[in-house]
Amino acid sequence: MKMSFRWYGPDDPVTLTNIRQIPNMYSIVTAVYDVPVGEVWSRESIAKLKKQVEEAGLAFEVIESVPVHEDIKLGKPTRDRYIASYQENIRRLGEAGVKCICYNFMPVFDWTRTQLDHELEDHSTSLVYYKEQVEKMDPLTGELSLPGWDSSYTKESLKQVFEEYAKLTEEDLWDNLRYFLEAIIPVAEQCDIKMAIHEDDPCWPIFGLPRIITNERNIDRFLSLVDSKYNGLTLCTGSLGCSLENDVVAMAAKYTKAGRVHFVHMRNVKVLEGDRGFEERAHYSACGSLDMYEIMKALYDNGFDGYVRPDHGRMIWGETGRPGYGLYDRALGATYLNGLWEAISKGSQGK
């Protein structure tokens, strides 16, 4: 298990030095942020980022994300140009020593929450998703501003992309995903980069848009689209765990054993009564609905040797900054996860 931490580049209030001081920290998880989705990342930008990270004493091995252009998801004729750019990004990142690329295939919206600063009982704040709030939102009429949201959409262009998705069935989305994978996985194999799709977050359709990387049946189907270990997963415990239908421990065991888990996002969520709603909580198992010990044990017992990062944290101790991506609670999360791993690995020796 290689511990890692997301860093949003030089503008991130969390510094590389901060991150380096977290015990057992190995790799940064970052991206080039100054290039529009679908374009090729300059070698200079990649080299600069790598240099900054390595000079801080950390590895530059995980990219999150190389985003997938909407035309690829929609299967438009222009997709081939964007796929060629994607292939080139894989090659350039391979040259820079990157080992794992996280991406997702969610139409229009990335991860979605209804509130970013919900106050919990201990006066920390966290990200939440309340069904009744999301049902009142209409992306086409309201003033919608969501985290992970690509703010480059105008109201008009958003309306247009929704109209395009209205014609697309779930099966079409699967076909378009297959087309994309068949083009990029051979390149990833040549470059020795593990591609790691992130599950849809939350793992159900929102605003009438299809979502397919949501549960065990669909992940099985995803992995069989291109049967290569380079076609793998970012197992995100919080994304899968917000639906009680997903047995995250069993999924962690099964996909790790199959050699298809390359990156893990560890986060605890409290699933609210009736499902389809959740609050992000501290990493410690008893704070939420997930058993973090059992998940780490499933990884360990099945020979996991990929990257782990503490996923979203709460805002604590008066810290301000990017919701979910403060330093303090994620550092506590990393330390807790290190502790679980050490205890599980030492407890297993000699057995």
What is the contact surface with Mn ion in residues (CB under 5 A)? 236, 265, 311
Residue 230: active-site member: no
Kindly state the greatest CA–CA separation across the chain: 63
Residue 283: active-site member: no
Please tell me which residue in 165, 325, 328, 336 is annotated as part of the active site. Answer: 325
Residue 100: active-site member: no
Residue 265: active-site member: yes
Please tell me which residue in 100, 203, 236, 242 is annotated as part of the active site. Answer: 236
Quick one: 50 or 312, whose CB is closer to Mn ion? Answer: 312
What span, in angstroms and rounded, lies between the C-alpha atoms of 304 and 261?
8
Q: How many CB atoms lie within 10 A of CB 155?
A: 12
Q: How far is the CB of 201 from Mn ion (least distance, A)?
A: 6
Q: How far is the CB of 203 from Mn ion (least distance, A)?
A: 11
Residue 311: active-site member: yes
CA–CA–CA angle 118, 123, 128 (5° rounding):
20
- Nearest to 139, CA basis, from 117, 127, 126, 156: 156
Please tell me which residue in 198, 201, 242, 329 is annotated as part of the active site. Answer: 198
Q: How far is the CB of 297 from Mn ion (least distance, A)?
A: 20
Quick one: 200 or 311, whose CB is closer to Mn ion? Answer: 311
What span, in angstroms and rounded, lies between the C-alpha atoms of 231 and 61?
17
Residue 102: active-site member: no
Q: How far is the CB of 44 from Mn ion (least distance, A)?
A: 29
Alpha carbon 114 to its chain's center: 18
Quick one: 191 or 252, whose CB is closer to Mn ion? Answer: 252
Please tell me which residue in 129, 201, 312, 328 is annotated as part of the active site. Answer: 312
Quick one: 86 or 263, whose CB is closer to Mn ion? Answer: 263
How is residue 113 written in tokens? Answer: 């929450």
Please tell me which residue in 265, 283, 287, 300 is annotated as part of the active site. Answer: 265
Quick one: 82 or 129, whose CB is closer to Mn ion? Answer: 129
Contacts of 132 (CB under 8 A, 6+ apart): 277
Alpha carbon 350 to its chain's center: 35
- Nearest to 24, CA basis, from 346, 265, 335: 335
Catalytic residues: 198, 236, 265, 311-312, 325
